[in-house]
Amino acid sequence: MAATSVTKPSSSRNWRWLTIQPSVSTSIRRSWPTTFISNASHCDLLVIVARTDPKLGAKGISLLVAETTGLEGFCRGRVLQKIGQHGQDTRELSFTDMRIPVENLLGGEEGKGFAQLMVQLPRERLILGVAGVAMAEAAVLEAIRYAKERRAFGTTILDFQNTKFVLAECKTDVLVGKTFMDHCIMSYDNGTLDAATASMAKMWGTDKQVEIVDRCLQVFAGYGYMMEYPIAQMYAAARVQKIYGGTNEIMKELVGRSL
Indicate which residues carry an active-site annotation.
124
Distance of CA 82 to the CA centre of its chain: 14
Question: Looking at this protein, which amino acid is placed at residue 233?
Answer: Q
How many Cβ atoms from other residues are within 10 Å of residue 125's Cβ?
26
Kind and range of the H or E element at 63? strand 61-67
Torsions phi, psi for 211 (to 5 deg): -65, -50
Whether residue 31 contacts residue 96, with contact meaning beta carbons closer than 8 Å, is answered with yes
Contact 28, 98 (CB under 8 A): yes
Q: Compute how many other C-beta atoms are within 10 angstroms of the C-beta atom of residue 247.
A: 16
First-to-last C-alpha distance (Å) of the chain: 40
Coil, strand or helix: which one is 102? helix
What amino acid is encoded at 117 in this protein? L
| Nearest alpha-carbon partner for 128 in 8, 3, 248 | 248
